[in-house]
Amino acid sequence: MEEAPLLHQNRASNGHEEEEEEEEEEKVEKSLAKRAIEESNKLWMLSGPAISTSICQYSLGAITQTFAGQVSTLALAVVSVENSVIAGLAFGVMMGMGSASETLCGQVYGAGKITMLGIYMQRSWVILFVTSLILVPVYVFSPPILKLFGQTDEIADATGRFAIWMLPQLFAYALNFPIEKFLQAQGKFSVMACVAGVVLLIHVLLSWLLILKLGWGLVGAAVSLNLSWWLVVSGKLAYIFIWKSDGAWTGFSFQAFKDLFGFVKLSLASAVMLCLEIWYLMIVIVITGHLKNPLIAVDAISICMNINGWDFMIALGFNAAISVRVSNELGAGKPGAAKFSVLVVSTTSIAIGLVCMALVLGTRDHFPYLFSNSAEVRKEVTNLAPLLATTVLLNSLQPVLSGVAIGAGWQALVAYINIGCYYMVGLPAGLLLGFKFGFGVEGIWGGMIGGIVLQTIILTIITSCTNWKKEALEAENRIRKWGGSVAED
């Protein structure tokens, strides 16, 4: 008779324990959801203006290309090749060399050593100005370089003349990228977005006036694009020098010339990593020049790369945001927060990639009309839309993982991965499919997409297996090595 009440008591006790476990699980889930929302808000506060900045700055060249397409098929090809190959090469080098300051600025800001930001920006200016001088011959001798890679004489010679006119843009890059990293580390993305937005409006008006209204053609395209890039640089410098820097800018200093070797070493690793990524799909345009009817093929692939570039700017905004979040948290000694940030931004960017992929496929018969008056070009662009959509989806995650690498300082490792995946797998596969098996542009692009898939898988595995506590210690050592003495002064 005594066993029944005891059994009842045990069941009640077990039921109570189960309720407590369920309540505990609900608290954990709510806590996790709250953390995810908070992290998402932080990322959007950074990535929103960063995406706007990237799109506006990219649109400077893209809009110039659009106006050129209304002049002639040759003008469109010239601006496309210069933007994608010549300026694209310079953009990749300069952005890559500037990414060393992105790692270091983010980590010293997270550690609270604000005065080092101005020193790092100046140090990066010195390195990028020298790099600009080294790149000048690429612009000057661009016709034989393009012909060497199979571009037709007509397109190569005209592109060479246009490239000479675009030299001022090269030196604007040298100032712009260190400024961006300086502002990004402090989370001042809205400043860059405002400057880029105002300049974009000015650029649209200038391009219409000079290229179409006054009939200056390619000369008008060069004038408007150069002037717009220097307006971007001037607006950001005005903010730093005149209005506000929160103690990060303390004036020009000879400290900028100290520890240049270590800075150059990280800059070169950054440049190799990003250049291998940026140039990879640009190579498609160069290789396309070897196909039959290259003018139509180059125009079609250039339009697709233009659209891909706009989408890539969204991912580049997340790239900048996650780089800042990871570098700040590692610099502050918070490895768990860095890891959680990577998870949230990866999920968000993939969701956006799926939406953009659907948008490309849904408008494949319509968007080519924005870029060309040629029915042949528009038809070829429509045929390439499925490959464009696939690339757009991959672009949603791959740049985010690169941003994690920049924030943590893994540039050298990722450079080796890029060489293997892109140039030892993807590019040979594209050449085989495009020429050996006769699939043309679709084969070239499809094979190279395989390289992106492989690289994304490898970076995902590396990021998932990362010891974030160890990365925080690495950041602390890096700050002590390059930031301690100045910060303490």
Rounded to whole angstroms, the Cα distance separating 152 from 294 reads 8
pLDDT, residue 33, reads: 76
Rounded to whole angstroms, the Cα distance separating 71 from 218 reads 9
Specify if 150 maps to a domain.
Answer: yes
More confident residue, 455 or 315: 455
Specify if 357 maps to a domain.
Answer: yes
pLDDT, residue 487, reads: 39
Rounded to whole angstroms, the Cα distance separating 334 from 421 reads 32
Specify if 152 maps to a domain.
Answer: yes
pLDDT, residue 7, reads: 46
Rounded to whole angstroms, the Cα distance separating 58 from 64 reads 10
pLDDT, residue 4, reads: 53
| Distance, C-alpha 468 to centroid of its chain | 24
pLDDT, residue 22, reads: 53
Specify if 6 maps to a domain.
Answer: no
Torsion of CA 237, 241, 242, 245, to 10 degrees: 100
Maximum average pLDDT range among 35-44, 69-78, 169-178, 468-477? 169-178
User: Beta-carbon neighbour count of residue 404 at 10 Å?
Assistant: 27
Q: Is residue 487 within 8 Å of residue 345, measured between CB atoms? A: no
pLDDT, residue 482, reads: 58
Least confident of 2-11, 347-356, 382-391: 2-11
Q: What is the pLDDT of residues 388-416, one digit of tens each?
A: 899 888 888 887 887 787 777 777 788 88
H helix intervals, 363-397? 375-395
Cβ neighbours of residue 446 closer than 8 Å, sequence gap 6 or more: 387, 430, 433, 439
Residue 25 has pLDDT above 70, yes or no: no
| Average pLDDT, integer, range 341-369 | 87
Specify if 14 maps to a domain.
Answer: no
| Average pLDDT, integer, range 424-438 | 87
Residue 229 has pLDDT above 50, yes or no: yes
Specify if 57 maps to a domain.
Answer: yes
Residue 431 has pLDDT above 60, yes or no: yes
Q: Which of 449, 465, 469, 341 lies closest to 404 in space, CA to CA? A: 341
Cβ neighbours of residue 414 closer than 8 Å, sequence gap 6 or more: 273, 402, 405, 459
Q: Mean pLDDT over all residues of the chain?
A: 81
Maximum average pLDDT range among 171-175, 330-334, 400-404, 450-454? 171-175
Residue 486 has pLDDT above 70, yes or no: no
Least confident of 98-112, 218-232, 374-388, 421-435: 98-112
Given the structure tokens 């490895």, which residue do they identify?
335
Percent of the chain surpassing pLDDT 90? 16
pLDDT, residue 200, reads: 95
**Would you place residue 271 in the very low, low, confident or very high pLDDT band (cuts 50, 70, 90)?**
confident
**Would you place residue 226 in the very low, low, confident or very high pLDDT band (cuts 50, 70, 90)?**
very high
pLDDT, residue 489, reads: 38
With the C-alpha atoms ordered 383, 388, 88, 69, is the resulting torsion angle positive or negative?
positive
pLDDT, residue 176, reads: 93
Cβ neighbours of residue 396 closer than 8 Å, sequence gap 6 or more: 314, 315, 349, 350, 352, 353, 354, 356
Rounded to whole angstroms, the Cα distance separating 411 from 432 reads 30
pLDDT, residue 51, reads: 83
**Would you place residue 89 in the very low, low, confident or very high pLDDT band (cuts 50, 70, 90)?**
confident
Q: Is residue 278 within 8 Å of residue 95, measured between CB atoms? A: yes
Rounded to whole angstroms, the Cα distance separating 302 from 288 reads 10
Domain that holds residue 107: 43-488
Exposure on the CB side of residue 213, measured as CA atoms within 13 A: 7
The domain total for the chain is 1
Q: Is residue 101 within 8 Å of residue 121, measured between CB atoms? A: yes
| Average pLDDT, integer, range 383-388 | 88
Q: What is the pLDDT of residues 230-263, one digit of tens each?
A: 999 999 999 988 876 666 787 777 777 777 776 7
Specify if 247 maps to a domain.
Answer: yes
Residue 28 has pLDDT above 50, yes or no: no
For 344-367, the three-class secondary structure string (H helix, E strand, C coil) is HHHHHHHHHHHHHHHHHHHCCCCH
User: Beta-carbon neighbour count of residue 55 at 10 Å?
Assistant: 22
Main-chain dihedrals φ then ψ at residue 389, nearest 5 degrees: -65, -40
Report the greatest alpha carbon distance in the chain. Answer: 105
Residue 82 has pLDDT above 80, yes or no: yes
Given the structure tokens 């908070």, which residue do they identify?
38
| Average pLDDT, integer, range 33-62 | 83
Specify if 4 maps to a domain.
Answer: no
pLDDT, residue 484, reads: 44
